[in-house]
């Protein structure tokens, strides 16, 4: 479904009220921003049947790295990641509606990023189809959306979305890409590589705007001050921190040093990582967990 022209506001509303996936992935040829209107706060996005938020149980952890030899387990990972991408689409649409008075170039940047997140959903869907899995076959979770009530300003938006969740994906995309390749799944590995390249730009967008929004505090302290109380800084990294993609995103060495000093995320077990496997990841940046 392609429409020739649409206002950002209408596009965002349609994405958040869509109950079919095609509408979530709607991408007009030309997007305009002449009538951003008054702020609109959406409590929860509509979802296609069967794709609503489930409560995640302990049994629904991602399979551990050593079990990714099995294609069905790799498909489970891709399905979870596709769910994250769909949440990113929806949160970016949320931001377009919540911050109509933000600078036009900021809104344009979010719109561009949103389109790339839509493409990420499509890429995961295509790869999952090759593996015999349809998007929506497995449960989807609220995850990032839990933090949406905290996103009351563009500064908070870039702090939480770009500089925490997307920043952590620099590590996860790298690690899963390496893991998939180690089990001979080049297609899935290349997909993670493409996602990584895009996420580097998304983090860069967030960092540039954080600097624009920063006043007397430096960017690091501004970031810390704009995180939600239940979102510690360590959530901005995976179980290992990849320095190079952060440098490519334009983050200064000081930021990387500061982030390294934050504790390892307590959500490590949900990814089922085993320290001995991390040692096998072929990257000098990778430090063992123990
Ligand atoms: Fe993405
Ligand atoms: Fe992203």
> How many angstroms separate the most distant Cα atoms in the chain?
54
pLDDT in tens, 24-68: 999 999 999 999 999 999 999 999 999 999 988 777 889 999 999
What is the CA(175)–ligand 1 centre distance, in A? 15
What is the CA(169)–ligand 2 centre distance, in A? 8
Q: Where are the alpha helices (DSSP H) in the chain?
A: 8-17, 21-24, 71-98, 104-130, 154-157, 167-182, 186-213, 219-225, 243-248, 253-261, 268-271, 275-278
**In this prediction, what percent of the chain has a pLDDT beyond 90?**
84
What is the rounded average pLDDT of the residues 146-157? 97
Burial class (CB in 10 A: 0-12, 13-18, 19+), 199: buried
Taking each helix axis as running N to C, give the angle between helix 186-213 and helix 167-182, from 0 to 180 degrees, rounded to the nearest 10: 170
What's the domain count of the chain?
1
What is the CA(69)–ligand 2 centre distance, in A? 27
What is the CA(10)–ligand 2 centre distance, in A? 22
What's residue 114's pLDDT? 98
What is the CA(126)–ligand 2 centre distance, in A? 18
Kindly report the backbone phi and psi dihedral angles of residue 186, in degrees, each rounded to the nearest multiple of 5, phi listed first. Answer: -65, -35
Q: Has residue 43 been placed in a domain?
A: no
Q: Has residue 41 been placed in a domain?
A: no
What is the CA(237)–ligand 2 centre distance, in A? 14
Q: Has residue 251 been placed in a domain?
A: yes
Q: Has residue 40 been placed in a domain?
A: no
What is the CA(74)–ligand 1 centre distance, in A? 18
What's residue 194's pLDDT? 98
What's residue 285's pLDDT? 32
What is the rounded average pLDDT of the residues 12-35? 97
Q: In this structure, which ligand is nearest to the CA of 82?
A: 1
Q: In this structure, which ligand is nearest to the CA of 173?
A: 1
What is the CA(9)–ligand 2 centre distance, in A? 20
State which residues form the domain around 184: 5-32+61-278
What is the CA(216)–ligand 1 centre distance, in A? 31
Taking each helix axis as running N to C, give the angle between helix 186-213 and helix 104-130, from 0 to 180 degrees, rounded to the nearest 10: 170
Q: What distance, in Å, lies between the first and last C-alpha atoms of the chain?
A: 50
The β-bridge partners of 31 are 6
Cβ-proximal residues to 39 (8 Å cutoff; 6+ apart), any chain: 97, 98, 99, 100, 101
Question: 242-277 in b/e burial notation, b at 16+ Cβ within 10 A?
Answer: bbebbebbebeeebbebbeeeeebeeeeebbbeeeb
pLDDT in tens, 112-121: 999 999 999 9
What is the rounded average pLDDT of the residues 144-169? 97
The number of angstroms, rounded, from the C-alpha of 147 to the middle of its chain's C-alpha atoms is 13
What's residue 1's pLDDT? 55
Mean pLDDT of the chain: 90
Q: What is the Cα Rg of the chain in Å?
A: 18
Q: In this structure, which ligand is nearest to the CA of 122?
A: 1
Kindly report the backbone phi and psi dihedral angles of residue 248, in degrees, each rounded to the nearest multiple of 5, phi listed first. Answer: -65, -30
Whole-structure pTM over 0.85, yes or no?
Answer: yes
pLDDT in tens, 191-221: 999 999 999 999 999 999 999 998 788 999 9
What is the CA(162)–ligand 2 centre distance, in A? 7
CA 232/CA 168 separation, integer angstroms: 12
Judged by DSSP in three states, 26 sits in coil
Q: What CATH number does residue 189 fall under?
A: 1.20.1260
14 pLDDT tier (thresholds 50, 70, 90): very high
Q: Has residue 52 been placed in a domain?
A: no
What's residue 2's pLDDT? 66
Cβ-proximal residues to 271 (8 Å cutoff; 6+ apart), any chain: 61, 62, 64, 172, 238, 239
């Amino acid at each position: 479904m392609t429409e020739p022209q649409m206002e950002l506001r209408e596009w965002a509303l349609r994405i958040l009220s869509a109950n079919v996936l095609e509408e979530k992935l709607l991408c007009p040829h030309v997007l305009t921003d002449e009538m951003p209107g008054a702020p609109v706060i959406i409590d929860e996005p509509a979802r296609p049947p069967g794709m609503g938020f489930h409560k995640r149980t302990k049994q629904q952890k991602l399979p551990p790295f050593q079990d990714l030899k099995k294609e069905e387990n790799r498909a489970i990972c891709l399905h979870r990641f596709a769910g994250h991408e769909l949440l990113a689409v929806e949160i970016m649409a949320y931001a377009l509606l919540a911050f109509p008075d933000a600078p036009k170039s900021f809104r344009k940047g979010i719109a561009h990023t949103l389109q790339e997140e839509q493409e990420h959903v499509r890429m995961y869907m295509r790869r999952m189809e090759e593996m015999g899995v349809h998007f929506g076959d497995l449960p989807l979770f609220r995850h990032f959306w839990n933090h949406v009530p905290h996103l009351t300003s563009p500064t908070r938006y870039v702090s939480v979305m770009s500089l925490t969740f997307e920043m952590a994906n620099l590590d996860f995309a790298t690690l899963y890409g390496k893991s998939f390749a180690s089990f001979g799944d080049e297609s899935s590995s290349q997909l993670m590589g493409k996602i990584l390249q895009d996420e580097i730009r998304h983090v860069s967008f967030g960092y540039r705007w954080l600097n624009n929004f920063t006043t007397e505090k430096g960017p690091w302290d501004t970031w810390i001050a704009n995180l939600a109380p239940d979102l510690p800084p360590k959530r901005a990294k995976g179980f290992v921190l990849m320095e190079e993609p952060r440098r490519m995103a334009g983050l200064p060495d000081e930021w990387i040093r500061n982030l390294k000093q934050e504790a390892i995320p307590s959500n490590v077990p949900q990814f089922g990582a085993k320290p001995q496997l991390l040692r096998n990841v072929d990257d000098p940046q990778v430090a063992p967990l123990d």
